[in-house]
């Protein structure tokens, strides 16, 4: 059967996910097919503006590009389609699963913050950013999976936050080198006696190790909260969500194994470790 334009749009989102989000993509393979394509559409939707903001091409105006994408998103959600294939797939998914407009717009608000803000004084300040950049992605996933329990939504929010914090701690060196951004709260830098100058020079000392132990423990608290909501996810969707949760949390383990050197060594899971995590989860669910 010939592919429709919508089929091709979903296929593009799948390729974007496979290229940019390897750990996340591996987890998505275990969703039911109709859910899986919508998860790819969600990934495509969030990756597109992320590229506008973080990797603009020469001559591009990220602010203008983001505003145009926001307008196109609102129109796509209104009419249920778009000439932008990523938005066409996302609009179809949003209509199919009743994704509230406030969620994608909150995500785009967070992307706009990256254009004007590179420091956060407190953790509560940082959470104003992570709500849009990560937690609403978990809430949109709940729409797709059919999770409606209010308490389960709290745990989905926390899973998005935990995964975002994991990305932050893994990418400290990259965020500084490429964009001069620091997501570690300023109050925490002062508390542990670690300076921006040290960070800029990639210093891994006792102060930095103590700082990272604190941040990793904080992320693990949110993973623990997320675990409390797993039972509320429909059984056919539990495995991929649990797999993503465990693989991302393993990145924290890797940071520790690398003696907290997030400047010269990238914490990542191997293909064998991904497969092992899948086997362990399948065995624990079968027991």
Q: What integer pLDDT is reported at residue 285 of this predicted model?
A: 76
pLDDT of res. 61: 94
pLDDT at 199: 97
Q: What 3-state class would DSSP assign to 21?
A: coil
**57: pLDDT strictly greater than 90:** no
Residue 148: pLDDT band (50, 70, 90) is: confident
Measured in whole angstroms, the distance separating CA 271 from the mean position of its chain's CA atoms is 20
Return the sign of the alpha-carbon dihedral for residues 130, 237, 267, 178: negative
What gap in Å lies between CA 92 and CA 11, rounded to an integer?
13
What is the CA angle 20-131-234, rounded to 5? 75
pLDDT > 90 in the chain, percent:
89
Instruction: Enter the pTM of the model.
Output: 0.92
Is the pLDDT confidence value at 256 over 80? yes
């Amino acid at each position: 059967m010939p592919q429709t334009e919508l089929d091709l749009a979903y296929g593009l989102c799948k390729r974007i996910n496979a290229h940019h989000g390897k750990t996340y993509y591996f987890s998505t393979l275990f969703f039911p097919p109709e859910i899986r394509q919508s998860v790819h559409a969600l990934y495509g939707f969030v990756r597109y503006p992320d590229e506008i903001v973080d990797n603009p091409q020469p001559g591009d105006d990220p602010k203008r590009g983001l505003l145009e994408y926001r307008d196109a998103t609102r129109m796509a959600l209104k009419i249920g389609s778009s000439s932008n294939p990523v938005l066409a797939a996302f609009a179809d998914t949003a209509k199919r699963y009743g994704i509230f407009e406030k969620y994608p717009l909150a995500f785009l608000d967070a992307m706009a913050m990256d254009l004007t803000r590179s420091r956060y004084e407190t953790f509560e300040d940082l959470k104003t950013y992570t709500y849009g950049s990560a937690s609403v992605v978990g809430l949109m996933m709940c729409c797709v999976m059919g999770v409606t329990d209010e308490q389960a939504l709290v745990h989905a929010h926390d899973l998005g936050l935990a995964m975002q914090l994991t990305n932050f701690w893994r990418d400290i060196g990259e965020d500084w080198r490429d964009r001069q951004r620091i997501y570690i709260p300023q109050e925490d830098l002062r508390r542990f006696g670690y300076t921006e100058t040290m960070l800029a020079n990639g210093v891994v000392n006792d102060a930095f190790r103590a700082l990272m132990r604190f941040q990793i423990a904080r992320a693990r608290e949110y993973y623990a909260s997320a675990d409390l909501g797993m039972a509320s996810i429909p059984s056919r969707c539990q495995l991929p969500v649990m797999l993503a949760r465990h693989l991302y949390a393993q990145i924290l383990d890797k940071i520790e194994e690398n003696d907290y050197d997030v400047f010269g060594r990238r914490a990542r899971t191997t293909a064998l470790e991904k497969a092992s995590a899948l086997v362990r989860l399948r065995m624990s669910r079968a027991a």
